[in-house]
């Protein structure tokens, strides 16, 4: 199953991250004509932010050790906790069921959109992705393809490389969640604002090369 998540606030054709995830999806469907795809648009249908009941329930679950999701309801003590779990469990189930996770992630203020951070905060519930018997990570075989769009240049060797808190964050997060390093693929299209930012004038060829490389990379990854 392909879990496709877009987080760009720009729902128009101008969104580079959405156009690249769309390209991936098209290629993936050609490769997997009978495959299931689930889609979440975090801008159009935001994940609600956490309320105080979420960490209270989470700490209670942590005290019990590795508690699988089907055992969590027995630990719920009130209506606010029940509401938080009802909002959380569908996201956990989707992620656990996915063979491939596709994320469209524009860079906002050097990091990820708040809409994606809300999804991350909610889905990362204690014990949800750990085998309760063995302690093994349940997402170790899940492929994660992160398609990033950056208005400027943040790649290695660029003046703003030290300002990239997007790729390192996502690499660290999914690694901690249990995704094997070889199954995590980060693809970046850079200089995507070259047509509107005067300070990027003269870099049009680099922007075009970056976009072409990103398009080729997502097409190849979708064909596996």
Delimit the domains of the chain by residue range: 2-222
Sign of CA dihedral 85, 88, 94, 95: negative
Predicted pLDDT at 121: 98
Q: What is the pTM of this model?
A: 0.94
Q: How many CB atoms lie within 10 A of CB 74?
A: 8
Predicted pLDDT at 51: 98
Predicted pLDDT at 48: 97
> Is the pLDDT confidence value at 83 over 90?
yes
**Beta strand residue intervals within the chain, DSSP E:** 2-6, 37-41, 100-106, 143-149, 184-189
Pair of tokens at residue 183: 């199954």
Three-state DSSP class for residue 170: helix
Pair of tokens at residue 139: 């997402």
CATH number of 2-222: 3.40.50.360
Predicted pLDDT at 194: 76
For the stretch 139-169, pLDDT in tens is 999 999 999 999 889 888 888 899 999 999 9
- Please give the mean pLDDT across all residues of the chain: 94
Q: Is residue 117 within a helix (H) or strand (E), and if so which, with residue range?
A: helix 114-123
Q: Are strands 100-106 and 184-189 parallel, antiparallel or unpaired?
A: unpaired
């Amino acid at each position: 199953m392909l879990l496709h998540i877009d987080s760009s606030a720009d729902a128009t054709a101008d969104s580079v991250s959405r156009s690249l995830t769309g390209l991936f999806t098209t290629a993936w469907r050609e490769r997997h004509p009978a495959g299931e795809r689930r889609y979440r648009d975090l801008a159009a249908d935001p994940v609600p932010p956490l309320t105080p009941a979420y960490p209270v329930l989470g700490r209670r679950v942590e005290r019990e050790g590795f508690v699988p999701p089907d055992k969590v309801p027995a630990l719920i003590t009130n209506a606010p906790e029940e509401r938080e779990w009802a909002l959380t469990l569908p996201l956990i189930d989707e992620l656990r069921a996915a063979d491939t996770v596709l994320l469209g992630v524009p860079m906002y203020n050097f990091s990820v959109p708040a809409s994606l951070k809300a999804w991350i905060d909610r889905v990362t519930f204690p014990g949800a992705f750990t085998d309760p018997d063995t302690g093994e990570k349940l997402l170790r075989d899940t492929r994660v393809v992160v398609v990033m769009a950056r208005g400027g240049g943040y790649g290695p060797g660029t003046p703003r490389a030290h300002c990239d808190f997007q790729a390192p964050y996502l690499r660290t997060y999914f690694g901690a969640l249990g995704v094997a390093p070889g199954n995590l693929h980060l693809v970046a299209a850079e200089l995507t604002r070259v047509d509107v930012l005067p300070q990027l004038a003269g870099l049009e060829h680099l922007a075009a090369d970056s976009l072409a490389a990103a398009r080729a990379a997502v097409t190849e990854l979708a064909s596996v």
